[in-house]
Amino acid sequence: MTSAGNHADSVSTLGRLQSNSPIRRVTARDRDHKRRSLLDASSITPQLIMNKHSLRFLWLAFALVLQPTEGSSAQYAPLKTLFEVEVVDTSFSYGPSNRSVPLRIYLPKTDAPNPVLLFSHGLGGSREASPFLGKHWSGRGYCVVFMQHAGSDRDVMKNAGRFQRLSALKNAISGESANDRKNDVRATIDELEKLTLTRGQFYGKLDLDRLGMSGHSFGAITTQAVSGQEHRLKRQTHKDSRIKAAIAMSPSMPPLGGASSAFASIKIPWLLMTGTDDNSPVNRRVDAKSRREVFKALPSDGHSFELVLNEGTHFIFGGRSERLPASKKSKLQQETIKAISTAFWDAYLMEAPAALAWLNGGEVRTILDDRDTWSKK
C-alpha cells in the first residue's frame, strides 16, 4: 500500500488484517459488567445509573476519550477526532455534454496523503448531505468527497409546487439517472487523480490507493453498482476497481434478477446500514424488510457486515429523523453510525488491527442499543 507515511500511524499502527476472528456473543451480563466498570471510574449519581440512554451516552463519551493503541480493541476509540477540518466547495465538468458535478470536500488539516471517501446522496439531496459524517470522517484523517448528481438532486423539486414535489422525485428515479450517477463516480475519481498531481490545494493530499465508496438510499444503489453488484440479466457491471471498501446506507435489492447472482461476485468489504423503520418515502415496495435481504446475499468471506438500528428511520443517515424534535435516541443512533462506519474505514483502508478487532469482538456491542442488530459473515 502506497503513501501511508506517518499519517496512518497517527490513527493506528498498520498491520495485517485478522479476518478470521469470530464475533463473540456478548451477553447482558457482559454489558452490565462493562457499564459497572465505567460507572465505578466516574462520579455518577444513582439517577443516571437507572437511565438506559444515559448509560449508553456515558459509554460513547468514554470511547471518545480513549486513545487507540495497536491491536487493542478495548482502547480503540472510533469517536475521537484527530484533525481540524477544512470544508471546500468546488465543481468540475466532464464528458461530451460537459456534465457538471458539484463537490463538497472535507479536508483534514494534515500534510500527509489522506485516504479518500466518496459519498453519494439520496434522491433529492445534494453535496450538503450527512454533514455529521463528513466532519467526523475527515476529523479522523480522511479526505471526504460528497458528490451532487444533477437530475436526481434537490434541483428536481426547484420548480415543483408543494403538492407536486413527490411526483417530481418519483420521476427522477430512472435508468438514465442511475447511469448518470455511476458515471459521476468514475469521473470524480478521475478528477481527484488529477487534483492530487496538480500544484494547488489538494496537491499530494489524496491517497487514492486507499479509496472508499459510500452513499444513502439512491446513493446506496449507486454505491452498490460501482462496488461490485452485477446486473446479470443485462450482463452489465459498473464496478470501479479503484474502490477498496464500501458502505451502503439504506441498501436496496436489484430490480431485476436474483439477489444471489447480483451480489455473488463482491470482492471487497461491504458494510450495510439500515433500521427497523427504514421504509422508502417514494416507493412502498422498498421497505425495511427488503433492505435486509441484501446482506443475506453477500459473500460469507468474513468481510461482510450489517448494522440494523432499532427504530432507525430512513432519514437518520442524513443527519435527521422524521420524529420532530429529534429524540435523544436519534442522536445516539448517529453516534453509533459514526463509530461503526469509522471503525470499518479504519480496518480496511488504514489496515488498523485494533479497528478490525473492535468490529469482530464484543466491544462494538457496548455502543449499541439492546435491540439493535449487529451481524458479520
pLDDT of residue 234: 58
pLDDT classification of 287: cutoffs 50, 70, 90: very high
Q: Is 15 helix (H, G, I), strand (E, B) or coil?
A: coil
DSSP classification of residue 350: S
User: Residues 6 or more apart from 294 whose CB is under 8 A from it?
Assistant: 224, 248, 251, 252, 253, 259, 263, 272
Q: Name the strand (E) or helix (H) holding 81.
A: none
Q: Compute CA distances 197 → 193, 205, 207, whole Å.
A: 7, 9, 11
Q: Compute CA distances 166 → 29, 285, 332, whole Å.
A: 47, 16, 30
Q: Average pLDDT, stretch 253-271?
A: 88
Distance (Å, rounded) from C-alpha 347 to C-alpha 350? Answer: 6
pLDDT at residue 36 above 60? no
pLDDT classification of 258: cutoffs 50, 70, 90: confident
User: Residues 6 or more apart from 133 whose CB is under 8 A from it?
Assistant: 119, 144, 319, 337, 338, 341
pLDDT at residue 143 above 80? yes
Q: Is 67 helix (H, G, I), strand (E, B) or coil?
A: coil
Peptide bond into 78 cis (omega under 30): no
The single residue listed with the C-alpha cell 471503525 is 343
pLDDT of residue 236: 63
pLDDT at residue 284 above 50? yes
Which of the residue ranges 3-7, 205-209, 227-231, 318-322 would you say has the lowest mean pLDDT?
A: 3-7
Please measure the distance between the N-terminal and C-terminal CA atoms of the chain and give it in whole angstroms. Answer: 25
pLDDT of residue 21: 36
The string of pLDDT tens digits covering residues 235-251 is: 567 899 999 999 999 99
The single residue listed with the C-alpha cell 449487529 is 374
Distance (Å, rounded) from C-alpha 65 to C-alpha 57? Answer: 13
pLDDT of residue 233: 59
Distance (Å, rounded) from C-alpha 362 to C-alpha 27? Answer: 9
The single residue listed with the C-alpha cell 489538494 is 202
The string of pLDDT tens digits covering residues 343-375 is: 999 999 999 999 999 999 999 998 999 999 999
pLDDT of residue 329: 82
Give, in degrees to the nearest 5, the angle at Cα 174 between 170 and 178. 120
**Domains of the chain, earliest start first:** 5-13+27-376 (3.40.50.1820)
Of residues 223 and 64, which shows the higher confidence score?
223
Given a contact cutoff of 8 angstroms between Cβ atoms, the answer to whether 275 and 336 are in contact is: no
The string of pLDDT tens digits covering residues 182-195 is: 999 999 999 999 99
Task: Output phi, psi for 234, to 5 deg.
Answer: -95, -5
Q: Average pLDDT, stretch 249-277?
A: 91
The string of pLDDT tens digits covering residues 191-226 is: 999 999 999 999 999 999 999 999 999 999 999 999
pLDDT at residue 27 above 60? no
What average pLDDT is seen over the chain?
Answer: 82
Of residues 289 and 66, which shows the higher confidence score?
289
Distance (Å, rounded) from C-alpha 320 to C-alpha 131? Answer: 11
pLDDT of residue 208: 98
Top-confidence range, 8-17, 133-142, 146-155, 229-238: 133-142
pLDDT classification of 25: cutoffs 50, 70, 90: very low
The string of pLDDT tens digits covering residues 104-139 is: 999 999 989 999 999 999 999 999 999 999 999 999
Which of the residue ranges 12-26, 78-92, 164-178, 335-349 would you say has the lowest mean pLDDT?
A: 12-26
